[in-house]
Amino acid sequence: MKQKNRIPIRWYGNIKKVENRFNRNMESAFLAKVLTYDQKKHVADIQPLANWIDGTKSAQYLDVPVAESCYKLDEQLDKFKPDFKAIDSSPEVNSHFLEHYPKKKSMRVGAVVIAVTMDRDIDNWDGTGNTFTPNTSRMHDANDSIIVSVYKGDDDG
């Protein structure tokens, strides 16, 4: 019995090739190393860790916004450090808070972070919960990345 309207397997393979070409140019989530970090503006310059297939390095991403969850604990620890130091120096209290304090901040130069690329252009976003209109029709572009997590600190601490 003959099958009608049978799609050749070759056609499916070609569609997959086209799909892979589109996906190759679509940014999503990636690991990167922090090169610089502005603690006041909460933006960082990062270097993606994955090289291109030919071994060349990816371009650096500049002024990438950092999610509050990446630095909030660091700021809280800085805020309480003088209080813990005073408690540690008190003869009435036998505590050693500062001995257990992290030696380095989580969000810092050298840290490995996870960044995501937003679906739309975020140039007009003011960093709040207010709605905004994208500046361009740009989609899934490296220019619209945000650091969402600190994966690991650098090797020396």
pLDDT of residue 157: 45
37, β-bridge pairs: 44
What's the CATH code of the domain at 48?
A: 2.40.50.230
Total structural domains within the chain: 1
Q: Is residue 157 part of a domain?
A: no
In angstroms, the CA 119 to CA 122 distance is: 9
pLDDT at 5 over 70: no
- Which parts of 11-137 are beta strand (E)? 29-38, 43-48, 61-65, 112-117
- The rounded percent of the chain whose pLDDT value lies above 70 is 87
User: Rounded to two decimals, what is the model's pTM?
Assistant: 0.76
Q: Is residue 8 part of a domain?
A: no
Q: Is residue 44 part of a domain?
A: yes
Q: Is residue 3 part of a domain?
A: no
Residue 114 confidence class, pLDDT cut points 50, 70, 90: very high
pLDDT at 12 over 80: no
Q: Is residue 22 part of a domain?
A: no
Handedness of CA 129, 127, 25, 112 (dihedral sign): negative
Instruction: Please give the average per-residue pLDDT across 64-89, as a whole number.
Output: 87
